[in-house]
Amino acid sequence: MTSSPSGSRRYLALWFPFLPTDRLSREGVHALATVEKVKGAMRLAAVSAEGLSVGLAPGLTLADARARIPGVAVADADPYADGLWLERIADGCDRYTPMVAIDGANGLLLDISGAAHLFSGEAGLQADLLARLDRLGMTARAVIADTPDAAHALARHGDDIGALPVAALELDSAETVALRRAGLKRIADLSARPSAPIAARFGEAATDRLARVTGARDIRISPRRPEPALVVERRFAEPIGHTDAALAAVEALAGEAAGMLEARHRGGRRFEARLFRTDGLVRALRIETGLPTRDVPLLMRLFRERIDALDDPIDPGFGFDLVRLAVPRAEPLAPLQLALEGGTIAEDELARLIDRLSTRLGRDRVRRHAPQDAHIPEQASFAFPAAAPRAIGPWPLPEPGEPPLRPVTLFDPPQRIDVTAGVPDGPPQRFHWRRAAHEVVRAEGPERIGALWWRRADNKGRTRDYYRVEDSHGRRFWLFRHGLYGRETAMPDWYLHGLFA
């Protein structure tokens, strides 16, 4: 059903009256209804078209349903699975417009402004959409109108705005009953009266909903995804049945997108390829890069590695008839100035390595360290996803000509060792670590690091005295004595915290 076009924007509403049972039917489960427990009683949550025809209705108790139809087939309601299926249908609707919004538990709203010409008009778009939904086994009603609220109401309540019941305004039940008692049973009854008296008697919500349903007010939909910075696509008159052919189309689109990004002096940070099957299902491939890029070979290598890492291989089904490449995130990309010492090239190669590892292993599994302001050694750095855009401060460097103050290898937690010292609060002379004895020939320290007393419940903590020591074989270690002798402990413990190069 399509209302006459009069506004600058056009919306298509989809309503799936039997979504839960249609979903179950696709999974091979025949059920006339789904059931859920409401206040201790099992009631019908949704019914199928067949169930509706034999007298079942949502809200009916399961006992009453069985009294009417002995042995009635039912299944447990699963709103989560229903929601996931609705999201998958919405993914398929992206072929018509990126402006797709979820409309309640059983509906979708599409902003099709400027998209209908691709299907020879609104009627062609609507027919194509309903045909694909029918192939999915979904019962659906579609209506196109000037506002999303008008399309929503027409899809659920009738064919003519004026003839719709006041229930189409979806007000509170008390307000709907009050309108009916006042003799205002249809939208036309309200439209014929001034809005001020209606607002005074029935509330501002009544006049607001009336304006939105009748098209006097257009409240734009909020799409599921923000509109990407750039989108390119390729449609096929004959579906392509091989993943390699689909990837070839993605590569051609990546080249087209790269040219458009270059003209804007920008590079992509996030890319999404969507492969639309003829049966309405969609397969999405997403990749991210550490630096803005428009390097097509790099992008295709990442897409192929993403496919190789998939647990569920791509199934073309009866073929793909639409391939789309979107760039949801783009950033400025200036012409590359190569440094003589190759620093820029090294950074670029590191970014490429991070991109490949993150694509293959997962974004959160490839991490890097950055310094943070903390005097406790094991807290002086933190790990974060290597592909995440983050400003990293400089690492502390030793004074020119001086040995480093911190080891290259840090044990977390520190490793307990046995130490022999001349006096309890003096430097170590000998220590045992991993069943080997080490004679200390040189020691530097102590470097005292206080405890984080404010984080302890008893406001007490032990001080650490660190020593940089060298054994008789020239190996260098970082040791610390835990606790001040006589003040914090009777006999301090010793730990090995790190190894110098």
Residue 410 phi/psi, 5° resolution? -120, 130
Neighbouring CB atoms inside 10 A of 461's CB total: 15
> How many Å apart are CA 58 and CA 77, to the nearest integer?
12
155 and 256 fall within a common domain: no
- DSSP symbol at 412: E
10 and 89 fall within a common domain: yes
**CATH number of the structural domain spanning residue 132:** 3.30.70.270
- DSSP symbol at 386: T
In tens digits, the chain (501 residues) has pLDDT values of 444 444 478 999 999 999 999 999 999 999 999 999 998 899 999 999 999 999 999 999 999 999 999 989 999 999 999 999 999 999 999 899 889 999 999 999 999 998 888 888 999 999 999 999 999 999 999 999 989 999 999 999 988 888 888 888 878 888 888 888 888 888 888 877 877 877 788 778 888 888 888 877 878 888 888 777 799 999 998 999 898 999 999 999 999 999 999 889 899 989 999 999 998 889 999 998 878 888 899 899 899 888 888 878 888 888 999 999 999 989 888 665 545 444 455 666 777 777 777 777 777 777 887 888 777 787 777 787 877 766 666 777 777 777 778 888 889 889 999 999 988 888 999 999 998 999 999 999 899 988 765 555 444 568 899 999 999 999 999 999 998 887 888 888 999 999 997
> How many Å apart are CA 52 and CA 107, to the nearest integer?
19
Structural domain range at position 96: 1-31+73-227
Helix, strand, coil shares of the chain, percent, nearest 5, are 30, 30, 35
- What integer pLDDT is reported at residue 453 of this predicted model? 58
> How many Å apart are CA 93 and CA 244, to the nearest integer?
24
- What integer pLDDT is reported at residue 367 of this predicted model? 81
166 and 25 fall within a common domain: yes
> How many Å apart are CA 194 and CA 447, to the nearest integer?
83
- What integer pLDDT is reported at residue 452 of this predicted model? 65
195 and 247 fall within a common domain: no
318 and 440 fall within a common domain: no
Inside any domain, residue 378 = no
pTM (two decimals) = 0.64
> How many Å apart are CA 201 and CA 226, to the nearest integer?
40
224 neighbors 90 (Cβ within 8 angstroms): yes
> How many Å apart are CA 27 and CA 20, to the nearest integer?
11
> How many Å apart are CA 207 and CA 190, to the nearest integer?
9
Looking at the structure of the chain, the number of domains it has is 3
202 and 308 fall within a common domain: no
Using H for helix, E for strand and C for coil, what is the string for 26-59? Answer: HCCCCCCEEEEEECCEEEEEEECHHHHHCCCCCC
Q: Which pair of tokens denotes residue 449?
A: 């690091």
340 and 423 fall within a common domain: no
Q: Which pair of tokens denotes residue 19?
A: 């979504």
Give the CA count within 13 Å in the CB-facing half-sphere of 496.
Answer: 19
17 and 153 fall within a common domain: yes
Identify the domain boundary among 206, 227, 248. 227
90 and 219 fall within a common domain: yes
Of 22, 154, 156, which Cα lies nearest the Cα of 88? 22
